[in-house]
Amino acid sequence: MITALEILNANILIVDDQESNISLLEQLLSDTGYTSVTSTMNPEEVCELHSIHHYDLILLDLQMPVMDGFQVMKALKINQDDAYLPVLVLTAQPNHKLRALQEGAKDFISKPFDLVEVKTRIHNMLEVRLLYKKLENYNKVLEQTVQERTAELRESEARYRSLTELASDWYWEQDENMNFTKVSGPVREMLGIQMDALDDKPSGGKSSKEEPSDILLTGWNEVERKTLQATIAARQPFLDFVFHQTNIDGSQRRFQVSGEPMFDWHCRFIGYRGIGVELTGKYQSQNSDR
């Protein structure tokens, strides 16, 4: 909300080639309680003044010599970065009102002045203008906050990856299309995938996809494989899923796998990641220590 004090402290510029009109408006605004009112009879200096003082409201006469109010508004739109043109035009010509609004004016005051109308229109326009500025500032703060949170998220993600890679035997990531982007360990063999874009091509230029890798794909428990495939395809999280591979000599290797979907700040799915450890050697070591 905009307070009455904020409105009375707004920065106002009066532009008119008639000194009597300027005196009348200055007296009216002063009596109402406005504290920051300046004026000029030279329309050519309005753009420079506005670039320096960033007025909340410009009371602009349309009929002036050398440079009329329409030309001033065009110059303001060209030279100012502000998307909101805070202009309230002053005119004695009814047919100028529509054109002024089309040129970017936000409202108009008819001459000769009705003092109640002048005070009401100035107050209403300043309230809208200050709300616009407050919203604009809020959006800037919000954008800065999002950028800071995004940087924190990226830093957190980097720490997470470093820690998980250190704490696990292997790690993998997939993008939103479930293509592997990072693989360390036998996850593709577990899932029955022979080849993906991460694999290097042999020196002869032939893709290794043409060379079977059945040795890597054999021995995995098919029931467990299908369960793991379905869980990942459904983008579901899972924890400590145990997976088995039977070696040629009949011995078994045991793996423990965990995975989770990844989302960005807008809750949009951006991929999947997981970690795994081989339990076989660890259990053997624990048993031998007893």
Number of domains in the chain: 2
Q: Are residues 54 and 103 in the same domain?
A: yes
Kindly state the average pLDDT of the residues 181-208: 60
Write down the mean pLDDT value for the chain.
82
Q: Are residues 89 and 192 in the same domain?
A: no
Q: Are residues 227 and 127 in the same domain?
A: no
Q: Are residues 121 and 183 in the same domain?
A: no
Domain boundary among 140, 160, 179: 140
- The domain of 75 spans 4-140
Q: Are residues 105 and 24 in the same domain?
A: yes
pTM: 0.52
Report yes or no on 176 lying in a domain: yes
Report yes or no on 118 lying in a domain: yes
Q: Are residues 120 and 179 in the same domain?
A: no
Q: Are residues 127 and 173 in the same domain?
A: no
Q: Are residues 174 and 249 in the same domain?
A: yes
Report yes or no on 255 lying in a domain: yes
Q: Are residues 17 and 135 in the same domain?
A: yes
- Summarize pLDDT for 220-255 with one digit per residue, the tens: 888 998 998 899 889 999 999 998 989 888 889 898
Q: Are residues 134 and 11 in the same domain?
A: yes
Which CATH number goes with the domain that contains 47?
3.40.50.2300
Q: Are residues 135 and 187 in the same domain?
A: no
Q: Is the pLDDT of residue 213 over 90?
A: no
Q: What is the dihedral of CA 36, 40, 44, 45, to 10 degrees?
A: -40
Give me the percent of the chain exceeding a pLDDT of 90: 35
Q: Are residues 134 and 225 in the same domain?
A: no
